[in-house]
Structure 1
Amino acid sequence: MEVDALTILLTIAIAAVLAFVKLSKSEPDIHPLLLDQQATVAPLRGEGESAIHRAKSVPAGSSLVKVPLERIRTLHDVWQNGLAANSTGRCLMYMLQNQFSYVGESYEHVDKRIGGFGTGFIAETKLKPRTETPVGIYAPYSQESFIAQQAFYRYGFVAVPIHDLRSSELLIEIVNQTKMKAIVVAQKALPLLLQSLKDCSSIKTIFVAAIYVSEEQKRIAAQHGARILKFAEVEYSGSSEALDAVKPEPSDIAMINYNTKSTSLSKGVVLTHANLVAAMTGFTGSLPGAKKFTSKDRLLSHFTNGDVIGTWMTSAMVMAGGSIVFPSGLMKNVLHDCQATTPTIFASTPIILEKIHEALDTTYGAGSSFKKAYASKLALLDAGRVTTTSLWDFIGLGEVRSRLGGKVHLVVTTNPTKPETLKYIRAAMGIHVMATYGRTETSGIVTSRNMFDYSNDAHLGAPVGCNEIKLLDDPEQRYTSGDQPSPRGEILVRGPNVMKGYYKKPNATATSIDSDGWFHTGEWGSLNANGTLELLGKKKKVKSEKAPSSPVHEEFKE
């Protein structure tokens, strides 16, 4: 049977219309009713308190989540799980020094490096494993800081991350408070450390992540009773006969975390392996099934080893056997880093996300095709849908999405991020966003905003599965649990992610964590009818104690 040209054209036209309808369908990604109640609310509440709120997956009377699997109870177990899941797969990606190209290393190779550095570290320092000895990491987020941190987890030392590279005063205070005998330092931070050594008498061994160390630098260190060793040489020296792991227990201290962005030293937050594994578990448990991390995922994160969120984000990726990108460290290179490494998960601070939005809007925002495509995608977003398969994604938005490498399907950030930026990421780029709220004292997480909640409401999301929250009346502020339409008060948090305490400050610990295990955040909040938390302000000056989340780190400035 012959088919004339008109029939063919009609068939093509009908197919195009059907495709347009299918690709531009506006059914929401989640039923709206599921967003109307995002938490489990206890039926009873104490006097002067709101009801206790939990994740919907953890009803009242059940245990809060602590571990992802029974065999994964420490950060060392997290590494072992990733190694077993993807031993020959890519683990780390980092830039070659003075070259703008990335190289990758497998889990097997990185495992040998961890054992090699840990063994060399023990041989050079003569420090005994699993004695909870504090060791400094005064380096940006890099392959060396990652290797060092994993080695400390493997052999039972305590990581003390320091990511401020400007203030000798803060460095001296942290060193003297922890009495650390050894420190891993970046090349650019070495001069400041050497200037501070006269006031840091406990430091005896300095491991420098550098190709070159001058004789003058070695001489200055020796004047103050310290040795300088190259990180790579120590790693190599221990790699031939690496020591067996000295496995930590969940209750062992993994990290003492300081927020060194403030102008004065904050309290050292003592976090155990159990705390950090619980935080990681709480976060991964809030991911929908289709968005769970796998060995095919790749994380590019701007949260450094000094940010607790950086620790559990990296741990979540390692546990799945995925790969980790260490970015170049310059704000102007953020988009190039993404294009060179094609991450699937992009974790960054609100400020960096807002700068990306500004840069892309400047480049593409004036184009008529972009304006039409973006308006149509905003309409889909208002209807509850984030997608990369509408016709508009192919017509006007493909290049915009490619600027983050083209494969990112999830952005993880902290609160608050500008609504305009969140809209842009979801609509123009077709990427889901999860925003979290946390404190250093809660291992960097308390709540997480539902991935499918695209509203402009200023809430912080509902509790994650590792902790529960409630509000305590504050008569001075006139915030009470009986306030309408929402209870208000000081935010209290309890769960296995809550810190062990403040380092060598028992009185401060007792003031912050009450006899029932509730951590008093010093921040006001309200609990919305749908179970989400909204932040109202600070009850007292806690800026120096708050989890480092929003500010742009020194290494990510221009």
Structure 2
Amino acid sequence: MQSQMYSVEVAGHSEVSGEGKPRRSVLSPERLVDSYPSAKGTHQITTLYENFVEGIQRSEGGDFLGVRPIVSGVPQPYQWTTYARVQERVANFGAGLIHLDVKTNANFGIFSINRPEWTMSELAGYMYSLVSVPLYDTLGATAIEFIVNQTEMEVIIASADKAEILLDMSSVLPTVKKIIVMGELDPELAAQGAELDIEVLAWTEVERTGLERPVSPKPPKADDVASICYTSGTTGTPKGAVLTHKNIIATVSSLHKMASHQKFFIPGPNDTHISYLPLAHVFERACQAVMISGAARIGYYQGDILKLLDDVAVLQPTIFVSVPRLFNRIYDRVLAGVKAKGGIAAFLFNRAYATKKANLRRGILEHAIWDRLVFGAIRARLGGRVKHIVSGSAPISPDVIDFLRICFSADVYEGYGQTEQAAGLCMSYRGDLTPGQVGPPQLCVEVKLKDIPDMNYTSQDQPYPRGEIMLRGHSVFPGYYKAPQQTAETIDADGWASTGDVGQWDELGRLIVIDRVKNIFKLAQGEYIAPEKIEAILAKHNLVAQVFVYGHSLKATLVGVVVPDPEALKLWADKNGLEGKTFEELCAEPSVKAFLLKDLAVFGRSSDLKGFEILKNIHVVSEQFSIENDLMTPTFKLKRHTAKEKYAVEIERMYAEIN
């Protein structure tokens, strides 16, 4: 049993009533990290521009950005551009922006799915001290209007489809003067812009201007703003988190320092990352900064999330960064497939799984026989070469973490952070196979727990202190853009930022995220409900793809909206006299609802849900919660307020049926 502490209390910090003492990682108890040494050891890397230069030097001419060209509708093998060539293109494009009269420290927009021009546009911003402001249409037109006008954007770099959206909105975007289109520029789009007094140019045209008229880089300082990253939130107007170069580099530097202690990894030129999580969100951008710092390759998905695993099979990444939603889907599919096969195949899988699970507790990831005989086909789903898996953005079930380690024989890390800390709050350590915890504080921050008396969480709780997670340090943002009141509500006078999450320290000084302050609600009988916890449990049921749990403060019970797994539901239907029906017909079938309601109750109790946490009625739907229908944020978090409004009639009916 491991007894070494992962974090320690900050020395010399006096006790404050209503909160626990701050803790820091045991790897850096005296000083919070804000930079990392160059490979040659000649200087410290303090900005994202220096990080890019470091990657170029470490790459030694190696590949950087890769895409799959689509020819006659058929995706081709990945084609790569080297670090050196990307550096030339970035310098030329950045110089072109300067010739378009983009001033130092000015805000410019980026509006597109992930693609090389997205990354190169942002790198150009770093090179010439400009501030990127990502846009994404899943926020809705109102939010785009708000962001563009609040940041007074004059130049927006966009893919052709997003450029059309901007031109259609031009009447409410008075500051926009130029739109730079990635890829081929349709003359009709340029003509439409001219009619609206907006200049529409091709990305390559701006790049060519810079090639013909070079401009020396204007590198930023560590405290300069790198980006304003608007958080989608679940309700209300988006808030623009101002992130400095120091904020993001602090997160990168923490991981470098962890790697120097063999507690994490820094990728090298032989490593490959697939970029598909939205670059508009800080999680993917922090990932890219880490990849660049080690000169790794970044391959982009072709733009269709449904074809992601096809892209993964071709790219064969060594690093796979994702969110629990995707890992849950892989988990569900594999276990459902094993159950459907039955017989000797199921026997072998279960025996192999049990053997490797027992080995996990002894710190062993690999098994010479079972990895080849049983888990090889599963490993191939992620390309067959994955060495490191990182999960972030939302809590992941301990069962799923174990599953990933067992089936992929990979180091699996769970990260925890928010936009406001450049994703740099906690990270589990390599070799620590204890599921359910997110590790100690990253080396760039210190963390404390603040009492929440209303919810009976206190720093004096036994056996483990609990409370709202608060942090202070180099990755913590300076505030929200043009929003002093919201900034003051988040960061106190001593620099401590609130997260809105509830945490608990374990006996080794690792953090466990146990609740969400804002998403907690109280039922009529006074019981507090954490819906995300219940959803995470029910989503592991083989028939469930997604679930939204709802409770009303005037009611004593919970109800839910369930999206079944199409494949699993069809298998169940074929065995229960419902063969031949479509997925939509099955979702509307009363017997499906009746079975699901009963089986989810049994499943919930077997998963230690309390009586008041069991759903007493459900509504079954065939439409998945998605970014496109506005039921999920770009990081795949459920938008509760939107879901509540969408299903208001069904919620009322479910409660009426219970009564």
Q: Tell me the TM-score range normalised by the shorter chain.
A: 0.7 to 0.9
Distance between the aligned counterparts of 1:364 and 1:238, measured in 2? 57
Worse overlay, 417-426 or 201-210: 417-426
Distance between the aligned counterparts of 1:85 and 1:277, measured in 2? 17
**Structure 1 counterpart of 2:2:** 33
Distance between the aligned counterparts of 1:492 and 1:551, measured in 2? 21
**Structure 1 counterpart of 2:421:** 442
**Structure 1 counterpart of 2:222:** 250
TM alignment of 1:100-139, pairs within 5 A: 100-101=75-76, 102-123=78-99, 125-128=100-103, 130=104, 132-139=105-112
Cα gap change, 1:270/1:192 in structure 2, threshold over 3 Å: closer, same or farther?
Answer: same
DSSP 3-state at the match of 1:291 = coil
Of residues 424, 441, 446 in structure 2, which corresponds to 1:463?
Answer: 441
**Structure 2 counterpart of 1:327:** 301
**Structure 2 counterpart of 1:271:** 243
Unpaired runs of 5+ residues, structure 1, are: 1-31, 554-558
DSSP 3-state at the match of 1:279 = helix
Shift of 1:463: 0.5
Of residues 310, 313, 320 in structure 1, which corresponds to 2:284?
Answer: 310
**Structure 2 counterpart of 1:172:** 145
**2:397 is the alignment partner of 1:418:** yes
Shift of 1:319: 1.0
1:487 and 1:527 in contact (8 A); partners too? yes
Instruction: Tell me which of the two structures has the higher relative contact order, counting C-alpha pairs closer than 8 angstroms and 6 or more residues apart.
Output: 1
2:113 and 2:279 in contact (8 A); partners too? yes
**Structure 1 counterpart of 2:119:** 146
**Structure 1 counterpart of 2:376:** 398
Distance between the aligned counterparts of 1:429 and 1:347, measured in 2? 14
Worse overlay, 364-373 or 431-440: 364-373
One-letter code of the match for 2:134? P
Worse overlay, 256-265 or 494-503: 256-265
DSSP 3-state at the match of 1:268 = strand
**2:172 is the alignment partner of 1:199:** yes
Distance between the aligned counterparts of 2:168 and 2:21, measured in 1? 53
**2:27 is the alignment partner of 1:49:** no
Of residues 51, 61, 68 in structure 1, which corresponds to 2:36?
Answer: 68
1:471 and 1:481 in contact (8 A); partners too? yes
DSSP 3-state at the match of 1:244 = coil
DSSP 3-state at the match of 1:490 = strand
Distance between the aligned counterparts of 1:479 and 1:260, measured in 2? 28
Cα gap change, 1:323/1:51 in structure 2, threshold over 3 Å: closer, same or farther?
Answer: same
Of residues 49, 54, 57 in structure 2, which corresponds to 1:84?
Answer: 57
Deviations 1:249-283 (A, max 9, x none): 00100000012364532210000001110011123
Shift of 1:405: 1.5
DSSP 3-state at the match of 1:258 = strand
Shift of 1:308: 1.1
One-letter code of the match for 2:2? L
Distance between the aligned counterparts of 2:108 and 2:185, measured in 1? 23
**2:320 is the alignment partner of 1:352:** no
Distance between the aligned counterparts of 1:165 and 1:508, measured in 2? 23
Q: Give the TM-score normalised by structure 2.
A: 0.73
Distance between the aligned counterparts of 1:195 and 1:516, measured in 2? 45
Cα gap change, 1:538/1:361 in structure 2, threshold over 3 Å: closer, same or farther?
Answer: closer
Unpaired runs of 5+ residues, structure 2, are: 38-42, 521-531, 533-629, 640-659
Shift of 1:549: 3.9
**Structure 2 counterpart of 1:431:** 410
DSSP 3-state at the match of 1:486 = coil
1:447 and 1:463 in contact (8 A); partners too? yes
Of residues 455, 469, 472 in structure 2, which corresponds to 1:491?
Answer: 469
2:268 and 2:296 in contact (8 A); partners too? yes
Shift of 1:327: 1.3
One-letter code of the match for 1:40? V
DSSP 3-state at the match of 2:455 = coil
**2:196 is the alignment partner of 1:227:** no
Shift of 1:548: 6.2
Distance between the aligned counterparts of 2:139 and 2:462, measured in 1? 47
Distance between the aligned counterparts of 2:199 and 2:438, measured in 1? 47
1:307 and 1:549 in contact (8 A); partners too? yes
Shift of 1:146: 0.4
**Structure 1 counterpart of 2:499:** 521
One-letter code of the match for 2:241? V
DSSP 3-state at the match of 2:31 = coil
Deviations 1:92-115 (A, max 9, x none): 111214541210111111111101
